[in-house]
């Protein structure tokens, strides 16, 4: 059996390469929209395929974790993530894009539930909070995947860049597999497998819906918004998500200490207010680089909200942490993947700039209900 510290390194690797692949996919979203030659409303509806795949897969992932353990589910779905990147990124029709979206959304969502569950097992073994640092590794990966991915795309083109991202992700996940905790740490802890939301988890799940709606909307639309509003090239526009993820990484690597010092409620309230302020400035400032700095502030704000909610979901069901996390993430990732289509539909009737104001409103709602995250401080 590997030591908890070794397992922590392995989980950090899973989060890192998950972020790299997601960041690489983000650089292809503006190109996919242009290739399909559709408006923001139709493209927003097409993005619902990712939501469909993720939301369907997450309760199944919770059941699979209870049956097989989070380690096995993490690496299997990670390899699927690397493989399915190609389908929506290279799709030349809405039908193929939607099929690829379902497959990619299912692999992303299932891997997310599984690696969070394994992270909670590592946190329990270490007897101290480390969940924010895992999400920090994801943010570093997403920032690197976006920033380096945009640069590499400008050098070698979209096709070679996509192959590079996929291979890098698969190799990184394969390297983490031998270091994970054994399956029995969270296998078969509960006789009830499926992870449907309960009264105990629905409050955290709704807050998670809003938090991940913000993250997903910025991921899918920030680059397009800057490209259209300030007329910049694709590579420059993609930096917006990179700056956002950089801010999230900084927040998350300091989040465990902040939660111990100030508590989850105060940290989430301050984080939500920062998110609202930073995003509002990014949407309306006339300078592209000031907008980038504002996205950095927004990332600093939103970075610690989801890790606190995920940890709280696992602690609400100590006998089946994978099931508890899946219950919260099923609602949360509905926001992550259904939020962007909503933004696109609203943009069809207003503008993309104004529709993204929904993320500002969502952040203010999180601030108003920050007291609901108090259960995350239970160890």
Q: Does domain 4-179+198-377 have CATH number 1.20.1250.20?
A: yes
Give the pLDDT mean for 163-177. Answer: 94
Predicted TM-score of the model (pTM): 0.76
Q: What is the pLDDT of residues 198-211, one digit of tens each?
A: 666 778 888 999 99
Quote the CA–CA distance of 218 and 65 in Å, as a whole number: 30
Give the pLDDT mean for 249-264. Answer: 86
**Tokens (6 digits) for 247:** 């801010």
Give the pLDDT mean for 179-194. Answer: 68
The predicted pLDDT at position 227 comes to 78
The predicted pLDDT at position 225 comes to 83
pLDDT above 90: residue 258: no
Q: What is the pLDDT of residues 81-99, one digit of tens each?
A: 999 999 999 998 999 999 9
The predicted pLDDT at position 196 comes to 55
pLDDT above 80: residue 72: yes
Contacts 24+ apart (CB under 8 A), 94-103: 94/36, 94/38, 94/42, 94/46, 97/32, 97/36, 97/46, 97/49, 98/46, 98/49, 99/49, 100/49, 101/46, 101/47, 101/48, 101/49, 101/50, 101/52, 101/53, 102/49, 102/50, 102/52, 102/53, 103/53
The predicted pLDDT at position 322 comes to 62
The predicted pLDDT at position 67 comes to 82
Q: Which of 365, 59, 33, 19 is nearest to 223 (CA)?
A: 33
Give the pLDDT mean for 30-42. Answer: 86
Quote the CA–CA distance of 145 and 134 in Å, as a whole number: 16
Quote the CA–CA distance of 50 and 337 in Å, as a whole number: 6
Helix (H, G, I), strand (E, B) or coil at 104: helix
- What stretch of H or E contains 12? helix 4-26
Q: What does the domain layout of the chain look like in residue ranges?
A: 4-179+198-377
The predicted pLDDT at position 195 comes to 47
Q: What is the pLDDT of residues 280-315, one digit of tens each?
A: 999 998 888 898 899 999 999 998 898 888 877 766
């Amino acid at each position: 059996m590997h030591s908890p510290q070794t397992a922590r390194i392995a989980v950090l690797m899973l989060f890192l390469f998950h972020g790299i692949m997601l960041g690489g996919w983000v650089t292809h979203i503006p190109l996919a929209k242009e290739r399909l030659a559709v408006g923001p409303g139709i493209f927003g509806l097409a993005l619902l395929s990712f939501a469909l795949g993720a939301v369907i897969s997450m309760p199944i992932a919770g059941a699979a974790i209870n049956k097989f353990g989070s380690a096995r589910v993490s690496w299997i779905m990670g390899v699927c993530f690397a493989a399915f990147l190609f389908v929506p990124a290279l799709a030349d029709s809405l039908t193929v894009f939607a099929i690829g979206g379902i497959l990619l959304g299912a692999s992303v969502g299932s891997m997310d539930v599984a690696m969070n569950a394994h992270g909670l097992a590592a946190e329990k073994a270490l007897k101290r909070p480390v969940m924010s640092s895992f999400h920090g590794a994801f943010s570093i990966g997403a920032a690197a995947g976006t920033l380096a991915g945009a640069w590499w795309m400008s050098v070698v083109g979209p096709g070679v860049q996509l192959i590079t991202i996929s291979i890098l992700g698969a190799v990184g996940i394969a390297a983490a597999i031998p270091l994970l905790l054994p399956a029995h740490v969270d296998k078969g802890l509960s006789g009830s497998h499926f992870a449907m939301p309960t009264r105990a988890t629905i409050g955290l799940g709704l807050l998670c819906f809003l938090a991940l709606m913000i993250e997903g909307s910025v991921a899918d639309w920030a680059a397009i918004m800057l490209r259209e509003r300030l007329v910049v090239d694709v590579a420059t526009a993609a930096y917006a998500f990179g700056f956002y993820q950089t801010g999230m990484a900084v927040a998350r690597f300091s989040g465990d200490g902040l939660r111990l010092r100030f508590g989850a409620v105060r940290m989430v309230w301050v984080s939500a207010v920062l998110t609202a302020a930073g995003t509002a400035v990014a949407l309306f400032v006339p300078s592209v680089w000031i907008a980038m700095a504002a996205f950095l502030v927004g990332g600093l704000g939103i970075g610690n909200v989801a890790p606190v909610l995920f940890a709280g979901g696992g602690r609400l069901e100590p006998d089946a942490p994978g099931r508890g996390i899946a219950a919260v993430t099923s609602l949360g990732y509905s926001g992550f993947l259904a939020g962007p289509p909503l933004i696109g539909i609203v943009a069809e009737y207003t503008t993309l700039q104004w529709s993204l104001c929904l993320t500002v409103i969502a952040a203010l709602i999180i601030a108003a209900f920050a007291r609901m995250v108090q259960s995350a401080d239970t160890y």
